[in-house]
Structure 1
Amino acid sequence: MDRKGYIFFITVSLFLVFFSMCLSLAVGEVRIPLPEVARMLLYKIGLTSSMTGAFGVYDTILLFVRLPRTLMVFFVGSVLGVTGAVYQGLLLNPLAESYTLGVASGAALGATIAIAFNVNLVRPFAFLGGILTLLGVWSLSHRSRSVDPTRLILSGVVVGSILQALMMLLQTLFPEKLGAFFFWIMGSFGSASWKWLPGCLIASCIALLFTLLHRELDLISLGEGKAETLGMSIVRMRWVLLCTASLITSVVVSYCGVIGFVGLIVPHLLRMLVGHSHSRLLFASWIGGGLMLLWADMAARAIGSLPVGVLTALVGGPIFCLFLWRS
């Protein structure tokens, strides 16, 4: 794709994001006409001086339920899309993402422990669980001065399986809290509110800053030998980028629970459209991840408050199987 084609693609994608957000504000148990959504948004940003129609009926639903949820869904999706592309570029493995490395499972386990023992620090525990999991996986895969990406992936899969087993154990020991556990294991935006939005926004902005490091990611993708020949300390750079990606993943998981396959599918889809260069892929993944999760959340709400992680797994799994079969 040439430069003009890429600019056209990004322009269309941003328009789709805006349209999807408006549609997300209209979809739910209470259907709100799109003209009412548009009038409310124009009124709130000061482009109109008065409100007519059914604004008084829909005001609370739009401003205090759907708008924070819609923004939160996009920010979480953008983080998952970018971190998936970063993990795959760093580890030279198309299966790499936060869930393959066990980071998301560690964050979910941290939240589960806090819920089980009535500790009112669910999100800090989730964040701590994700970071400790990355440290454990890194320690298992670290040999001498280098880290083998294949060992890192295998370590993440094994550690993630152990953490999943621990979560199952907690569900068995605390059956009265199965509902709260289910939220973290399957992923949901049912508790979205304005007070959780700043954390997701900051994580999304950090994810967007990865686009400034596209040259380093391109060099790492060439292979460890070539990157070191060009003067890059690949071990240090890989460690810094992995820590940062895992940190922001732990942040968003602490707000919405485990949502799989977004970070796995979005970069693969977009490589077919924008190419393998991280200068284009990372920003496209930021938009694409948010867009994919917006539609998944709308579909989950339309079906009837279904956990969004169920839909991403049902849709993402077959798509990824198709990629494997075709390649």
Structure 2
Amino acid sequence: MTKPIALAIHGGCGTLPKSEMSEAEWAEARADLAASLRAGWSILSAGGSAVDAVEAAVRVMEDSAHFNAGYGAAFNAEGEHELDASIMDGATLAAGAVAAVKRIRNPVSAAKALMLRGDPLLLVGPAADTFAAHEGLDTVENGHFSTERRRKNLSSMKIRELVGTAGEASEAEKHGTVGAVALDAAGHLAAATSTGGYTNKPVGRVGDSPIIGAGTYARDGRCAVSGTGKGEYFIRYCVGHELASLIAYKGLPLAEASGAVLGELTAHKIGAGLVAVDADGTIVAPYNTDGMYRGWVTPDGTVHVATHADVEIAGPA
């Protein structure tokens, strides 16, 4: 009997209200989600590793203007981009992460290179940029990541700060993250997450995306998870590890465990979402905001993508 493979992605729970983008732009965003899934699925279906699949899926979203990671990342308070990313191999618990990087085109690939090197696990700032250059990864000027939409987000957040309404900003104005989780044919799990953080964040702020056990976690026999939302809370609640622990120690099924974790955040009025896959290939993609860019491939190879409540079938993988 062939073993199951599974792949799910998110492009952040900071989804804009439907009226904020044209139907053509929404279609573009869904097409990029589908392209991300196809990139990861082609690796899994050829017998490749979950680690390679989540890296490939996240790279596609990092190169898309529609998500807050890589190209199209949020601006910090100084009008620059500082990017965070991590990746984790559920088979070995090996992981790699970079934070506050300014010049790495695909931060998830730098995180993977660091993971393969084995030590250290996390590099930040200029040291991480230099490491990526030494590894032969694509480096770019910081302006490469800029888009007009993010510039407008920064302006609106600066105004909100001045008039004292920053707390009322929508998830779309503030946050956004991309992530992927996978189960490969060998039964191994992996997760990866990448982000530009939140709009108008203080220089040097690091969120949950590069923090193993918070925004990213994978452990064979339990689950792989990638989160999106207000990172400070994901760190406090150790969301990724908590989810894996509820499965391991309480024996909860994935849907129930993820509901419990998200429920705790919801009770504190924290906008959040996640994608996760368990050892059997079961996928969940819960969120408590207006929408979450998300997608998955069903066992028959059909690509599903969504931005708000409605899920669209995007054809074969």
TM-score when scaled to structure 1?
0.28
Structure having the higher strand fraction is 2
Bigger relative contact order (CA 8 A; separation at least 6): 1
Structure having the higher helix fraction is 1
From the CA coordinates, give the structure whose radius of gyration is larger: 1
